[in-house]
Amino acid sequence: MRYSAINPELFIENRRRLTELLLPNSLAVVNANDILPTNADGTFRLWQNSDLFHLTGVNQEESILLLYPGAHDPRHREMLFLRETSELIAIWEGRKLTREEARKATGIENIHWISDFPALFHRLMCECDHAYLNSNEHKRAAVEVETRDARFVRETQAGYPLHSYQRLARLTHQIRVQKSPLEVELMRKACRLTGRGFRRALRFIKPGVNEMEIEAEFAHEFIRGGGGFSYSPIIGSGANACVLHYLDNDQACRDGDIVLIDVGASYANYHSDMTRTVPVNGRFTPRQRKVYNAVLRILRAVSRLAVPGKLPSDWQKEAERLTEEELLKLGLLRRSDVKKQDPLKPAFRKYFMHGVGHPLGLDVHDVGLTTEPMRAGWVMTVEPAIYVREEGFAVRLENNILVREGGNADLMEDIPIEADEIEELMARRKNRP
């Protein structure tokens, strides 16, 4: 693995938190993700199931975690099943975890090969009263491909039709949204890596460079630092910045334009999510700067307003009110527009049409019970924006905050964001071919 070994206490504690929420005499099962095909005989690299990683730290295919805290036999209360290696696998694919390595990495004592799973699972299903099975219950997920967990649910319910089944996702969402200090430190590392990539890009950006070349600067820094991209980067210059999920990244950056950079580094499967908007030639125009500073004021205020006990929906409304006021100051809205607006289609949505933030963690749009109030330990993105399509540019800024009692922590406080600082750093850039 490219990242430093993670303290197994993280996974031990996560399993403890989960098992405390299970009904009496229950077992829970979580599967690794499949390795997905591309074309011909090609495959993607494994993108691990976030719930399995959260509970074990294992980044290996065909892995299964079984938790049964009330099992009669203590050896059956916590078991990890792994793919058994062979000389052929070692030659073609490389090393797989040994039992001892798995014990050390996860804190799980009872490690089995995957071939042992069917018999043990049958025995324990005959003993338990409830079975917690896993599924992807993210509200925005478009689930079209059957996952390994989904197959397991289908096969298990067919084989044991009279059992009491429970939704594990309701519990994993509850514990994953509230980050432990060990998790926050991993996310800080991802944020620091993002900051290094951004500073590198600032030294590179100038009129004539292509959006894809800016993406490459981040790739260099992320990979060198043992990480990767959290998501497909958005590098949109000029009017491209007004496309919320612009992914082409193939246009030349022109003198006088600004370029929106929505990029985050991942480290040890934990993600960061940053957006900056910078002038291609190193200097904001007066109009660009006015819009930029308006968005920055919103970001500062909204970051303070994310407090324990507040519903995310109320936080969104506060961000929208702040945005409306800034749009009025910029002359993009008039008071009459606001007075006559349809409450279901408010005027500000012409310029700001998305959420102001979301949970962040092992997934970029991380799971969490967002109909409930925020709590200390949530990590949230804060990403206000103003899209001025009629003027051919947009400004979006985004930092990641840790919600705390008594004041939040900005995990990206060391990443340049003030307009003056951006211009000063870009003024130092060297001429590059």
Question: Which CATH number do you get for residue 385?
Answer: 3.90.230.10
- Please, is 293 exposed, middle or buried when counting C-beta atoms within 10 Å of its C-beta (0-12, 13-18, 19+)? middle
Same domain flag for 141 and 186? no
User: Average pLDDT of 336-346?
Assistant: 94
Same domain flag for 208 and 154? no
Name every residue whose Cβ is closer than 8 Å to that of residue 38 and which is 6 or more positions away in sequence.
Answer: 44
Point out the least confidently predicted range of 49-53, 276-280, 315-319, 340-344.
Answer: 340-344
Residue whose tokens read 């409830």: 130
What is the C-alpha separation between 138 and 433, in angstroms, rounded?
45
Same domain flag for 18 and 124? yes
CB atoms within 10 A of CB 335: 8
What tokens were used for 431? 């001429």
pLDDT in tens, 374-418: 999 999 999 999 999 999 999 999 999 999 999 999 999 999 999
Q: How confident is the model at residue 430 (pLDDT cuts 50, 70, 90)?
A: low
Same domain flag for 161 and 206? no
pLDDT in tens, 71-106: 999 999 999 999 999 999 999 999 999 999 999 999
**What's the pLDDT at 190?**
98
- The answer to whether residue 333 sits within a structural domain is yes
User: Average pLDDT of 244-271?
Assistant: 98
Same domain flag for 185 and 152? no
Boundaries of domain holding 319: 181-427
- Tell me the C-alpha to C-alpha distance, in Å, between residue 195 and each of 51, 66, 100, 266: 27, 38, 37, 12
Residue-wise DSSP of 292-349:
HHHHHHHHHHHHHH--TT--HHHHHHHHHHHHHHHHHHTTSS-HHHHHT-BTTB-GGG
**What's the pLDDT at 143?**
85
What is the C-alpha separation between 162 and 256, in angstroms, rounded?
67
**CA-closest candidate to residue 179, choices 29, 33, 363:** 363
Same domain flag for 190 and 290? yes
What tokens were used for 281? 């030639």
pLDDT in tens, 117-150: 999 999 999 999 999 999 999 998 988 899 999 9
Side-by-side strand order, sheet with 110-113: 110-113, 78-82, 64-67, 26-31, 130-133, 164-167
Same domain flag for 162 and 214? no
What is the C-alpha separation between 91 and 78, in angstroms, rounded?
31
Same domain flag for 145 and 217? no
Q: Which of 168, 195, 224 is the last residue of a domain?
A: 168
Q: Which of 108, 135, 168 is the last residue of a domain?
A: 168
- The answer to whether residue 1 sits within a structural domain is no
pTM over 0.85: yes
pLDDT > 50? residue 433? no
Do 397 and 198 form a contact (C-beta atoms < 8 A)?
Answer: no
Same domain flag for 306 and 192? yes
Using DSSP's 3-state secondary structure scheme, residue 45 falls into coil
- Tell me the C-alpha to C-alpha distance, in Å, between residue 323 and each of 131, 198, 298, 355: 47, 26, 7, 12
pLDDT over 90, % of the chain: 96
Q: Which of 168, 200, 226 is the last residue of a domain?
A: 168
**What's the pLDDT at 120?**
98
Same domain flag for 244 and 303? yes
Question: Mean pLDDT score of the chain, rounded to an integer?
Answer: 96
For residue 254, the one-letter residue type is: R
- The answer to whether residue 153 sits within a structural domain is yes
Using the 8-state DSSP alphabet, how is residue 65 labeled? Answer: E
Same domain flag for 46 and 159? yes
pLDDT over 70, % of the chain: 99
User: Average pLDDT of 147-166?
Assistant: 97
